[in-house]
């Protein structure tokens, strides 16, 4: 049975629909393998990956250096739990802290867990360092945020489909409009402990705040003695043309929340990275994860970070992204409302639903995903070269030419 279905795209789609939960609406392409920016389906058709698993695969699919580290570590030891120490964790913490210009690292697995870690850290810091009365801490978040799918995190989402039927929700979050530093300042009370935000709102449709916003938010946080927690899970690690999206405004947050490309798509690795004073709120027993900081994940993440630095992926993203944006802006079509981007993180906002356009792009050999209905996100692996990017522009141009 399995042997007959392998390689049969239609049968595999039917099987997944029958046996899997229907919590996604994927394009019906059944991927079999990937290399660099390219994906191949079960029929051998090649596609340029313009999603990069939501920027988890900045280093490209199956990067040889990351694979080598993964194989090497997998044959030694993969999981010790934090009940014992392992050889990889200390090096991972040191290398990531240095990469971030921070003091300490707390490793987790998924992005949502790293966000949860940041929330716990900020609350405890609020009680123990700032002196907020127990149970009263408030965290300021932005409208249209995306920070993951745990029950606490969706509780402060403004997306009805993320929340519907999943309450009651965790209290202690105050929502303000995005891209308005004044709104943050106005929302601060003596019980505020932190602002949690994405420097660019990706899931909301690649919303880039006006210049000066992040610097203003950082100043507001400093002035009011509260923490700035930057969720750079999708924007960090080179995606926007700098190491972190906060770097575009020379902003150093109090903490980075990282995931996705931290492992180059090879394994779930996330981290909360912060200053000593903040990390010190965690003592033995206060937080943990069975897989967090496991030697396999740490070895993979160390290689993934080394690839970002040595292959200068942030610089590549800045250079190629600028060129890509310029090329895309030469496409004229009445359905295009705006084309915006920073580095190789680009959004094409349409005046109509983006899903049919993504399906059209798939038929032209480009895989991408609509975000927030009307925006097509284009975020290829940062290892892509200019020829492949030029090919993408041609395909996008053709897809628009065919569009009513
Ligand atoms: C993807 C993402 C998350 C959640 O990461 P998971 O690994 O899916 O839990 C959180 N914040 C941002 C900005 C993200 O893009």
pLDDT tens across the length of the chain (404 residues): 555 777 899 999 999 999 999 999 999 999 999 999 999 999 999 999 999 999 999 999 999 999 999 999 999 999 999 999 999 999 999 999 999 999 999 999 999 999 999 999 999 999 999 999 999 999 999 999 999 999 999 999 999 999 999 999 999 999 999 999 999 999 999 999 999 999 999 999 999 999 999 999 999 999 999 999 999 999 999 999 999 999 999 999 999 999 999 999 999 999 999 999 999 999 999 999 999 999 999 999 999 999 999 999 999 999 999 999 999 999 999 999 999 999 999 999 999 999 999 999 999 999 999 998 999 999 999 999 999 999 999 999 999 999 87
Sketch out the chain's domains with CATH numbers. 2-59+312-402 (3.90.1150.10), 64-310 (3.40.640.10)
Whether the Cβ atoms of residue 228 and residue 263 lie closer than 8 Å to each other: no
User: Residue 154: what pLDDT?
Assistant: 98
Catalytic residue among 99, 231, 357, 400: 231
Any ligand 1 atom below 6 A from CB of 147: yes
Find where tokens 């993969």 sit: 78
Pocket test for ligand 1, best of 55, 108, 110, 148 (most atoms within 8 A of CB): 148
Interatomic CA distance for residues 139 and 372, integer angstroms: 25
Task: State the pLDDT at residue 343.
Answer: 98
Catalytic annotation present for 400: no
Q: Which ligand 1 atom is nearest residue 203's CA?
A: 15
Q: Is 146 a catalytic residue?
A: yes
| Helix 313-328 / helix 386-401 crossing angle, nearest 10 deg | 30
- Å from CA of 35 to ligand 1 middle: 23
Whether residue 54 has its Cβ less than 6 Å from ligand 1: yes
Q: Does ligand 1 have an atom closer than 6 angstroms to the CB of 202? A: yes
Residue 156 in contact with ligand 1 by CB distance below 6 A: no
For the entire predicted model, the pTM comes to 0.98
Distance CA 62, CA 68 (A): 10
Facing residues of 172 across strands? none
| Ligand 1, atom 10, residue with closest C-alpha | 147
Q: What is the number of the ligand 1 atom nearest to the C-alpha of 115? A: 10
User: How far, in Å, is the centroid of ligand 1 from the Cα of 196?
Assistant: 13
Three-class SS of 177-205:
CCCCHHHHHHHCCCCEEEEEECCCECCCC
Beta pairing partners, 367: 49
253 lines ligand 1 (CB under 6 A): no
């Amino acid at each position: 049975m399995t042997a007959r279905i392998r390689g049969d795209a239609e049968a595999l789609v039917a099987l997944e629909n029958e046996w899997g939960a229907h919590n996604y609406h994927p394009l019906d392409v059944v991927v079999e393998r990937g290399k660099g920016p390219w994906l191949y389906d079960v029929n051998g058709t090649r596609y340029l990956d313009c999603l990069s698993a939501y920027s988890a695969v900045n280093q490209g699919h199956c990067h040889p250096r990351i694979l080598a580290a993964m194989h090497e570590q997998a044959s030694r030891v993969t999981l010790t739990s934090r009940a014992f120490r392992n050889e990889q964790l200390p090096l991972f913490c040191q290398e990531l802290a240095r990469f971030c210009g921070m003091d300490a690292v707390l490793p987790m697995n998924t992005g949502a867990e790293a966000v949860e870690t940041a929330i716990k850290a900020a609350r405890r810091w609020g009680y123990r360092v700032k002196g907020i009365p127990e149970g009263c801490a408030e965290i300021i978040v932005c409208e249209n945020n995306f920070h993951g799918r745990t029950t606490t995190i969706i509780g402060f989402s403004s997306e009805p489909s993320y929340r519907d039927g999943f309450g009651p929700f965790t209290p202690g979050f105050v929502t303000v409009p995005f891209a308005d530093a004044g709104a943050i300042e106005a929302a601060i009370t003596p019980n505020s402990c932190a602002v949690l935000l994405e420097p660019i709102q990706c899931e909301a449709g690649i919303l880039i705040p006006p210049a000066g916003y992040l610097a203003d938010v950082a100043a507001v946080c400093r002035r009011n003695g509260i923490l700035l927690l930057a969720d750079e899970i999708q924007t960090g690690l080179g995606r926007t043309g700098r190491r972190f999206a906060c770097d575009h405004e020379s902003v150093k947050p109090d903490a980075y929340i990282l995931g996705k490309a931290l492992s180059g798509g090879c394994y779930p690795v996330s981290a909360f990275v912060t200053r000593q004073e903040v990390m010190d709120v965690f003592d033995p027993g206060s937080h943990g994860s069975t897989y967090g900081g496991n030697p396999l994940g740490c070895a993979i993440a160390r290689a993934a970070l080394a690839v970002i630095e040595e292959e200068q992926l942030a610089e590549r993203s800045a250079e190629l992204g600028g060129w890509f944006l310029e090329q895309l802006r030469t496409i004229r079509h009445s359905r295009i409302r705006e084309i915006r981007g920073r580095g190789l993180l680009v959004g094409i906002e349409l005046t109509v639903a983006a899903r049919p356009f993504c399906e059209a792009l798939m038929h032209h050999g480009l895989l991408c995903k609509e975000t927030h209905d009307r925006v097509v996100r284009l975020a290829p692996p940062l290892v892509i070269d200019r020829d492949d990017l030029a090919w993408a522009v041609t395909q996008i141009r053709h897809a628009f030419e065919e569009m009513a």
